[in-house]
Structure 1
């Protein structure tokens, strides 16, 4: 896929992700940790991409090996930024990072962040242990009714 098509798809995804996170009640005025994901099976290429990401002002995580479902191993790192959850900022970052990935022939695999509560605290998946999450607004009956509306045959 061409860079232009990748960028267009990424911009659409940026808008969808930001809307979903904010619609879930995440803090609109907080500074977010944005982790842009890179991967390659070639360490030298990945290292050069990491150096360029660092030079562009991103924090860079150490490379990690990840085993895929088929048993193959790839190397990954994150280019990390801290800013508002703003679509324009994300679009600009994604454009520069997609170009960086293309230059070094590595994969740019999008970005991720964490929910931030009303107190400005990041809520990470590891913050929840099985069975510990409680939501005062959650009602089993409400959930079942909503699911029936979504899937009336089930």
Structure 2
């Protein structure tokens, strides 16, 4: 496992542990939202098409102005699943090469508390 993926695996384990520690149901199905950003809208759009074909629910891209005035485009791609480190890390391992291919930044993942 490369260094970048190892770091995502460690962060994933921390996020899951915090959710469970806060009382979130470890056996529930969760919407796992992966976050993406790019300065080039066309690159982001190409990634969105690939993610849709791979079974992700892809949100419309938004234009965001950063603190330094730069403009980036971002969107989330969601897939339902369990809070499992290996499963989420496997998703990330398929997403990172696509991000590199299209010059899009992978900005992590998130989900919501579930009882």
Structure 1 moving runs of 4+ over 6 Å? none
Q: What residue number does 2:102 align with?
A: 104
Q: Where does residue 34 of structure 2 map in the other structure?
A: 36
Count residues in correspondence: 115
**Uncovered stretches (5+) of structure 2, i.e. residues with no partner:** none
Q: Distance in 2 between matches of 1:56 and 1:19?
A: 28
Higher strand share: 2
Residue 4 of structure 1 deviates from its aligned partner by 2.1
Q: Structure 2-normalised TM-score? A: 0.96
Kindly provide the CA deviation profile for residues 28-76 of structure 1, in whole angstroms up to 9, marking residues without a partner as x: 1111011100000101100001111111111100000111111111000
Which structure would you say has the larger RCO, counting Cα contacts within 8 Å and 6 or more residues apart? 2
**2:75 alignment counterpart:** 77
Instruction: Find the counterpart in structure 1 of residue 7 from structure 2.
Output: 9
Pairing of 1:55-74 with structure 2 (within 5 A): 55-74=53-72
1:126-147 per-residue CA deviation (whole Å, 9 max, x = no partner) reads xxxxxxxxxxxxxxxxxxxxxx
- CA RMSD, Structure 1 to Structure 2 (Å): 1.1
Q: 2:113 matched to which residue of 1?
A: 115
Unaligned runs of 5+ in 1: 118-154
Q: Within 5 Å, which residues of 2 pair with 1:120-131?
A: none
User: C-alpha separation between the residues in 2 aligned to 1:108 and 1:49?
Assistant: 11
